[in-house]
Each structure stands twice: as structure tokens, then as C-alpha cells.
Amino acid sequence: MWKLGVLALFLWWGVSMETRVQQPKTVRLWEGRVPLAQGDSPVDIPFITLYPAPKESRNGAAVVVCPGGGYGGLAAHEAEPVAKWLNKLGVSAFVLTYRLGPRYHHPVMSNDVSRAIRMVRANAKEWEVDPKRIGVLGFSAGGHLASTAETHFAEGDPAADDSVERVSSRPDLAVLIYPVITLSGPYAHTGSRNNLLGENPPQDLIALLSNEKQVTEKTPPTFLVHGADDKAVPCENSLLFAAACRKRGVPVELHIYEHGEHGFGIGGDGRPVGDWVKRCAEWMKARGFFQEKP
């Protein structure tokens, strides 16, 4: 009987150890007091969850993943499953848990994604990533956040006391999946806008965060995916951003699928829209994202 007890304990310990080993590491974006925090509860503490690519296939590329949720929540199917897909490509993923409305408004969310990109870049050596190959990927409102990162970035401050703030927050490429882009007009997603900016925001702030208006020649290469039948966030959001990229000479690839609706994530439920992950991987490879930069 005691042998069975020891065996059961051993099996339990093995499962417990395996579970603990498999738990991804989380890292707070700021140590100590978080800028603009309204408290110190979990909803006030932004962080990234680390999903390093397997050593045998790691190519040095990294992507910060921004799940959607209307700036009022975070969709789980746009988080870890995306990170694991990126891992299969040899890309290390960093899933961002950013602060949300209505408790928080702009510029808090923008600060969180910029800090996440900077943190990955500042820790590139430790996390075995190339600081010249750090992308951002977002879904829905997370796509708006990713587009904000690529249009509102800042160079690092060499004199900053915080070493993370010494590096640039500019992503090297962006992937936007059924993104919220514009915050004005008939194609705006009002729920995301209200959570991001609050009720009745000033027009200049709406224009500032309507990111199709903020594309410049320095905006990084961008890959967009949308469903033509998306009733939550119309595909015109992606069309507007792609047109702005073309106007400014920014490399852009756009895929509009006849059927997709909203929130299909990386699976697509067996529909053709699920093919976007293959197209995206091909695009990243063609851009040299999987290869070390000189």
C-alpha cells in the first residue's frame, strides 16, 4: 500500500512540476509605481507574458501581441494561441496585458504598448531577440493599439535614468487583424472609442487617434486582414489604413476575405479566412523578418 502511495505522490509531483514549468513568465512593464496608475490592484498593473520560441527553431524575431476587446476587455483567443502560432515560426511572442477603459483612457494604453516594445528591445540580449526585428500584432481594438504603436512611436532618450526609456518604441513591422483604425465617421467603432477616449472627446483628440491620418514615411511595413462582412468593425478601417500607407510609400499588404465576420482569431473555423496566418508568415519571411539583420 505504501508503494502505491509513494507512486501516487511521485506522479502528482511530476504533474505539478510539469505544470509549473509550463507556466509562462510574466514581467511588469514598470517596477514600482506605474505611471498614471489609479491604484495597485491587478487591473492597474500592465505586464507582458513571455512565450520564447523553442531554442532549436528560434530565429531572433519577436512580436508584441495586443489582444482585442473594445478597450474594455482582453480576448483570450487572441492571446496565447497567437503566441504559440508565432513560436511555431521561430518567433518569440510577448502578449501584452494593457490597462483598459472605462477606468483608463488615452494616453495610458498607448504608453503601455510603447513601453512593451521598448522593454523587449531593452532586454533583447537576455531574451535572445534581435532589437532590429521586433514587430507588433493586434486584433480589433488591439489592432488599433498596434496601429497607434506604429504611428505614434518615439525614439529613445539617451539621458533617461530608466534604461528601458533609452531605446526606441518603433516596431519594425505591424500586423493588424480586423483592426479598429478610424475613430470618426460611419466606420468608427464607438465602443472602442468611448473606452479609449471617454464620452464626448474633443475632435482634435479623435483626429489624433484616427490612425489612418497619422501614417508617415516612417511608419513600418504593415500587413492587414479583414472580413468584408464584418459588421462590428467595417473593413473600411483596413482599407483606409492601407490607402494611407500607399500614399506615404509604406510597404503594405491587405487581404479582404468575403466571409470572416469579426473575431475569427487565428483559426477561422475552417473557413478560407483562416488562411491569413499562412499569408502573414509568407509576408514576414519575404520581408526578411526571420533572418538576422546586419
Note the pLDDT tens digit of each residue in 25-41.
999 999 999 999 999 99
Closest CA to 175 of 139, 211, 219, 217: 139
pLDDT at 10 over 50: no
Task: Say if residues 261 and 227 touch (Cβ distance below 8 Å).
Answer: yes
Sign of CA dihedral 263, 271, 227, 65: positive
**pTM of this structure:** 0.92
For residue range 80-132, list pLDDT tens digits in order: 999 999 999 999 999 999 999 999 999 999 999 999 999 999 999 999 999 99
Rounded mean pLDDT of the chain? 94
Q: What is the CA radius of gyration of the chain?
A: 20
| Residues 273/264, Cβ–Cβ less than 8 Å | yes
Q: Is residue 277, in this structure, part of any structural domain at all? A: yes
Instruction: State residue 7's pLDDT score.
Output: 47
Tell me how far CA of residue 225 lies from CA of 138, 180, 261, 268, 279, in angstroms: 11, 12, 11, 12, 10
Q: What is the C-alpha to C-alpha distance for residues 146 and 63, in angstroms, rounded to an integer?
A: 11
In-domain check, residue 183? yes
- Domain boundaries, position 37: 25-286
Residue 16: per-residue pLDDT: 52
Separation CA 65–CA 67 (nearest Å)? 6
- In a domain, residue 215? The reply is yes
The yes-or-no verdict on residue 196 having pLDDT over 50 is yes
pLDDT higher than threshold 90 for residue 172 = yes
Return d(Cα 179, Cα 224) in angstroms, integer: 8
Q: What is the mean pLDDT of residues 162-184?
A: 98
pLDDT for residue 62: 99
Average pLDDT over residues 200-224: 98
The verdict on residue 15 lying in a domain is no
Q: Which helix (H) or strand (E) holds 205?
A: helix 203-208
Query: Does a structural domain hold residue 13?
Result: no
pLDDT of 270 reads 85
C-alpha cell at 142: 488591439
User: What is the pLDDT, as a whole number, of residue 13?
Assistant: 55
pLDDT of residue 268: 76
Position 93 in a domain? yes
CB burial string 228-267: b at 16+ within 10 A, e below: eebebbbbbbbbbbbebbeeeebebbbbbbeebbbbbbbe
Dist CA 179 CA 181 (whole Å): 6
In a domain, 160, yes or no: yes
* pLDDT for residue 23: 86
Q: What CATH code is carried by the domain that includes residue 71?
A: 3.40.50.1820
Q: What angle do CA 94, 294, 145 make, to 5 degrees?
A: 30
Does residue 139 have a pLDDT over 80?
Answer: yes
At residue 14 the predicted structure's pLDDT band, cuts being 50, 70 and 90, is: low
pLDDT tens per residue, range 36-62? 999 999 999 999 999 999 999 999 999
State which amino acid sits at residue 100. Answer: L
What's the pLDDT tens digit per position in 121-137?
999 999 999 999 999 99
Mean pLDDT score, 58-67: 98
What confidence tier does 267 reach under pLDDT thresholds 50, 70, 90?
A: confident
Whether the predicted pLDDT of 5 surpasses 60: no
Sheet holding 92-97, edge to edge: 25-28, 47-51, 92-97, 62-66, 134-139, 173-177, 222-227, 252-257
Q: Is 155 among the domain residues?
A: yes
| Number of domain units in the chain | 1
Mean pLDDT of 272-291: 97
